[in-house]
A and B are shown apart, each in its own frame.
Chain A
Amino acid sequence: MSRLRGMTLTRMCAPYALWALHFLAIYSLQGLACARQLGRERVAGLEIMTWTMWGLTAVILAAIAWQAWRAGQIRRALLASDDAGRADHARRLFMVVLCLLGAAISALGVVFTASPLAMLQTCA
């Protein structure tokens, strides 16, 4: 039952918040690299800052995936419960679906935003 209660508005919005965090972080890191020469040394062909931004992208994508996995767990628990047809049940299912769709669109947003890293130098 506690698993069913885990679906809150905050959790529903978490994937988007992770997208926002990623966006803010890579924009700030890029600014630091260019204005303060932070992480400009090259390692294995790429600047440390580029590696950092790729790493951050991976971490954020993992966090979004974890949110989606948790939402999936709640969804499975809801589908397996005996309360189908009750208003509470339908409402939670609605929020879980919103969370899963939000995770998909946020992951797409993170990939889309990070894709210039593969094409441009940090301070091009």
Chain B
Amino acid sequence: MSPATPDHTIPTPGDHLRHGDRLARLERVWANGPGLVGQLTAVNHSTVSMRVIVTGFAFLLVGGLLSMFMRLQLAWPGLQVLDPQRYAQFVTMHGTTMMFLFAVPIMGGFAMYLVPKMIGARDLPFPRLSSFGYWCYLFGGLFLYSSFIFGSVPDTGWFMYTPLSDSTYSPGKGADFWLIGVTFAEIAAVVSAVEVIAAVLITRAPGMDLRRMPLFVWAMLVTAFMIAFGFPPLILASILLEIQRAFDFAFFEVARGGDPLLWQHLFWLFGHPEVYIIFLPAAGVVSMVVSTFARRPMVGYTWIVLALVATGFLSFGLWVHHMFAVGIPLLALAFFSAASMMVAIPTGIQIFAWLATLWAGKPWLRVPMLYIIGFFVVFVCGGLTGVMLAFVPFNWQVHDTHFVVAHLHYVLIGGLMFPLFAGLYYWLPLASGRMPSESLSRSGFWLVFIGFNLAFLPMHLTGMVGMPRRVDSYAMELGVHWLNLLSTAAGFVMAVGVVAILIDVALCFVLGRRGVENPWQAGTLEWAVPSPVPTYNFASVPQIESRYPLWDNPEVVAATRRTDGLLGEAHDDRRELLGTGIQSGRPEQVIRVSTSTWLPILAAFTIAILLAGFISSQYWLSILMLVPLIGLFLHWAWTTGDRHAPAELEVAPGLRLPTQAAARNAPGWWALVVTLLIDGSLFASLVFAYFYLWLNAPVWPAVGATVMAWRPALVALAPLVLPLLAAWLGPVALAAGRLRTAIAWQVVAVVGGAVYLGLHLPALWAAVGAPQVHAYASVVWTLAGFHAVHILVAMLIGGFTAMRIRCGYVDGVRRLESRIAAAFWRYTVGIGVVTWAVLHLFPRWA
């Protein structure tokens, strides 16, 4: 449409004559490329999230298929559907798939699709990172499943307990496929945490202050923080075990001073919060669906936020309740038993708030609500058996029986799948513009609900009479064969239900009846976008004044479709988001984000080759792949800025805002903060591992190792003062416009880091010796290596920042990258001092 052509479809009081032109420009700027290339390079949140969701459901089907074989094997005593080893492989892959390749990513996919729309944003603040996360997830999952092709399927359970998973008892490559594949796929979860935290904190629509955020967004914010603190222990555990398997370190080997329980602590430090990492987003979905179908605002909004935040904290105090039978002193068990029961309080608060909303409203029983009712029934049962399991004596009685299998499925299927399907049907008209088949979707619900309960309710009984879990058969004398046959038959009914639902959803996109916009008459912002959803979501960034803007001010829908509001004009043909204040939601900055690019898929593919080289012991290939990988990431970082970008832009008549390179709350800054939280959690887990091993070791340092003498230790520490000075004085020089001095400080920091490494590592080698000798040497070298990697990364960032200053990307006004470099150096020096104290002071005292 030419600029002169007036658009009469949406009359506006403002600059409506250019509306069509502006829309066309937005379409062009935000469009994915054409064809397969366009699909592979797309970074837009709607496109990427749909891929995540589809991939998640594909893994659900595969994981479900494995469980059907397991149920067939258990249908009657003595069957030979799967031999014991194959059964163990299927148990492992089923659990791993459902937890790591379905439950966590699919909720991440939902968040990626919904959060920007709910908060009135056009995209997530790091689109390339989202796309990179997706490819890591896909390649990680394929990596794991390629173990079937190579005949090395992991078979030690989805929890990979040591010593069963070490090289003595699992000599093949199965455990390596698990450790590497899962860690690769977990990059997606960590990336989604960075995305969601930054998006929610700084890209909410103007007016959407903290008390107006949709509850799903609150849930995702808490979940993202939980991922940031919860995933690193597992990542660390996986790295430690893989190092032990590949290079013969000794973290978990008793004969060399290690402890297999260290694995369980690290695993369940992740594993229990993981349950809530899955449940909280689902609870967010329930809050959205309940208020829409009760046709009233949520009762006790503040209480639900309280419950979400409280659950986020309390869930980290439960990990030992998975270890009640490993021989930990009773008092410690009692602490965890008490905390396990305590977490029922915030969960109960949420359930009562949902019931109160339904009670106070006029509930409308459509398919999404049907799933919510299923959720209430199933999840409350799962929660109650959870409280039973929190009692230590009862836990001992049913430990490792099918009672636990029943409980965890009631919690996970009740707490995840029913809300997930509720959300799927709830937002399907938004994503597809069509309505699903009412009869097929109701049939799917009843098949899943009845099938699930008939499959898992009997397992409470079979477990209580002593049927062990993870075992491929049971004795006829146990008297549970009929119950197992019922479970198997019902399991297939449930499977048919799940397939029916997925067929229904797929058909909806092609054959569904054309729906009206906002068919459920919901009140939140995601329903303001047009159908079909444009890639830019909103033509103008909306301004809101309540929690349910579509109920309280229906005008907001039209306002978001006009182009005379905030950011209605695409400056310089760049994709732009509006940045707002963390608490207040006031406009603060313009965030320019990336367009379609090959970088994410190339980076993920390079990592896949690197890991393939590692698992096949072709270490030369892994080292070789570091070159293109670092090159890709440097190119990625280099293309983040624009030296020709103006320092500020006009986002609406009379409102000028800085671009992110010059803004205080820039997304890059928050990405760094969240990344350092994640990294700090990783570091804290490693320090915990050190002290845990010390606690159980008779001698520390180990026989044959010594502590470095005072003089070399202090001399090695001294050069770290240089980066610290540079991190302080470099930004000062930059702010004063002294660019050459700022560059010089970056160089000083790099030199300081290099000198530290050159002095510290050789002296450490002389004192401690080879890491394979004892768990002491293993953990000391891992700590020192962890810090050394940080020094190298900081040196890279320092050199990069110096180049950016030299090339005019960074200056006295656009200081973001200098701030990031300084903060990273401060953090690196900080963990360096802690590492130094742990390595050189603690052994003298202990």
Contact B331 A121 (CB under 8 A): yes
A98 CA to B346 CA, complexed, in Å: 13
A-B contact pairs, 30 of them (CB 8 A): A12-B309, A13-B313, A16-B310, A16-B313, A19-B314, A27-B320, A27-B332, A31-B332, A32-B695, A34-B329, A91-B584, A95-B583, A98-B306, A101-B306, A106-B310, A106-B313, A108-B345, A109-B317, A109-B339, A112-B341, A113-B338, A113-B339, A113-B342, A115-B338, A116-B335, A116-B337, A116-B338, A117-B331, A122-B331, A124-B329
A123 CA to B346 CA, complexed, in Å: 31
Interface residues on B, range: 20 to 34
Residues of B within 8 Å of A101, CB to CB, are 302-303, 306
Interface string of A87-122 (1 = CB under 8 A from B): 110110011011001100110110011011101111
Spell out A's residues near B (CB within 8 Å): 8-9, 12-13, 16-17, 19-20, 23, 26-27, 30-32, 34-36, 87-88, 90-91, 94-95, 97-98, 101-102, 105-106, 108-109, 112-113, 115-117, 119-124
A22 CA to B644 CA, complexed, in Å: 52
B331 interface neighbour in A19, A90, A120, Cβ under 8 Å: A120
Contact A36 B310 (CB under 8 A): no
Question: Contacts A101-B306, A121-B331, A122-B331 hold; do A9 and B317 have CB atoms under 8 A apart?
Answer: no
**Shortest distance between the CB of A113 and any CB in chain B (Å):** 5
A94 CA to B341 CA, complexed, in Å: 28
Question: Contacts A26-B335, A94-B211, A121-B331 hold; do A112 and B342 have CB atoms under 8 A apart?
Answer: yes
Residues of B within 8 Å of A119, CB to CB, are 334
Residues of B within 8 Å of A97, CB to CB, are 302
**Shortest distance between the CB of B749 and any CB in chain A (Å):** 29
A90 CA to B312 CA, complexed, in Å: 25
Contact A91 B211 (CB under 8 A): yes
A113 interface neighbour in B207, B302, B317, Cβ under 8 Å: B317
Residues of A within 8 Å of B317, CB to CB, are 19-20, 23, 109, 113
Which B residues from 195 to 228 make CB contacts under 8 A with A?
A: 207, 209-211
Contact B582 A23 (CB under 8 A): no
The yes or no answer to B627 lying at the interface (CB within 8 A) is: no
Contact B330 A124 (CB under 8 A): yes
A27 CA to B330 CA, complexed, in Å: 12
Which of B331, B339, B696 counts the most chain A CB atoms within 10 A? Answer: B331
Contact B302 A94 (CB under 8 A): yes
Contact A30 B331 (CB under 8 A): yes
**Shortest distance between the CB of A67 and any CB in chain B (Å):** 14
A119 CA to B329 CA, complexed, in Å: 14
Contact A30 B209 (CB under 8 A): no
A24 CA to B584 CA, complexed, in Å: 34
Residues of A within 8 Å of B329, CB to CB, are 30, 34, 122-124
The yes or no answer to B305 lying at the interface (CB within 8 A) is: yes
Residues of A within 8 Å of B313, CB to CB, are 13, 16-17, 19-20, 106
A47 CA to B338 CA, complexed, in Å: 22
A30 interface neighbour in B302, B335, B338, Cβ under 8 Å: B335
Residues of A within 8 Å of B306, CB to CB, are 98, 101-102, 105
**Shortest distance between the CB of B691 and any CB in chain A (Å):** 8
Enumerate the 3 nearest inter-chain pairs by beta-carbon distance, A residue then B residue, closest first. A116-B334, A16-B313, A94-B211
**Shortest distance between the CB of A117 and any CB in chain B (Å):** 7
Residues of B within 8 Å of A105, CB to CB, are 306, 310, 345-346
Interface string of B686-700 (1 = CB under 8 A from A): 000000000110000
A87 CA to B211 CA, complexed, in Å: 10
| Interface residues of A, dominant DSSP | helix
A-B contact sample (17 more), CB < 8 A, given A31-B332, A91-B209, A106-B310:
A8-B583, A13-B313, A16-B309, A20-B316, A27-B335, A30-B335, A34-B329, A91-B583, A95-B210, A95-B583, A98-B306, A98-B309, A109-B317, A113-B335, A113-B338, A116-B331, A119-B334
Contact A112 B330 (CB under 8 A): no
**Shortest distance between the CB of B341 and any CB in chain A (Å):** 7
**Shortest distance between the CB of B777 and any CB in chain A (Å):** 21
Residue of B nearest to A26 (CB): B335
B330 interface neighbour in A87, A108, A115, A120, Cβ under 8 Å: A120
Residues of B within 8 Å of A26, CB to CB, are 335
Residues of A within 8 Å of B316, CB to CB, are 20
A34 CA to B327 CA, complexed, in Å: 12
Interface string of B143-173 (1 = CB under 8 A from A): 0000000000000000000000000000000
A35 interface neighbour in B209, B303, B341, B696, Cβ under 8 Å: B696
Residues of A within 8 Å of B210, CB to CB, are 91, 94-95
Residues of A within 8 Å of B330, CB to CB, are 120, 124
Contact B314 A109 (CB under 8 A): yes
Residues of B within 8 Å of A95, CB to CB, are 210-211, 583
**Shortest distance between the CB of B333 and any CB in chain A (Å):** 9
Residues of A within 8 Å of B345, CB to CB, are 105, 108
A23 CA to B316 CA, complexed, in Å: 10
Residues of A within 8 Å of B342, CB to CB, are 108-109, 112-113
A124 CA to B309 CA, complexed, in Å: 33
Contact B331 A23 (CB under 8 A): no
Contact A98 B583 (CB under 8 A): no
A116 CA to B583 CA, complexed, in Å: 40
A19 CA to B316 CA, complexed, in Å: 11
A30 CA to B337 CA, complexed, in Å: 15
A32 CA to B694 CA, complexed, in Å: 11
Residue of B nearest to A49 (CB): B331
Residues of B within 8 Å of A90, CB to CB, are 211
**Shortest distance between the CB of A56 and any CB in chain B (Å):** 13
**Shortest distance between the CB of A86 and any CB in chain B (Å):** 11
**Shortest distance between the CB of B222 and any CB in chain A (Å):** 10
**Shortest distance between the CB of A1 and any CB in chain B (Å):** 15
Residues of A within 8 Å of B309, CB to CB, are 12-13, 16, 98, 102
Residues of A within 8 Å of B695, CB to CB, are 31-32, 35-36
**Shortest distance between the CB of B523 and any CB in chain A (Å):** 19
Interface string of B320-364 (1 = CB under 8 A from A): 100000000111101101110110011000000000000000000
Residues of A within 8 Å of B303, CB to CB, are 101
A98 CA to B778 CA, complexed, in Å: 45
Residue of A nearest to B225 (CB): A13
Interface string of B164-196 (1 = CB under 8 A from A): 000000000000000000000000000000000
Which B residues from 255 to 311 make CB contacts under 8 A with A?
A: 302-303, 305-306, 309-310
A95 CA to B213 CA, complexed, in Å: 13
Residues of B within 8 Å of A124, CB to CB, are 329-331
A32 CA to B334 CA, complexed, in Å: 17
Residue of A nearest to B695 (CB): A35
**Shortest distance between the CB of B233 and any CB in chain A (Å):** 13
**Shortest distance between the CB of B586 and any CB in chain A (Å):** 9
**Shortest distance between the CB of A109 and any CB in chain B (Å):** 5
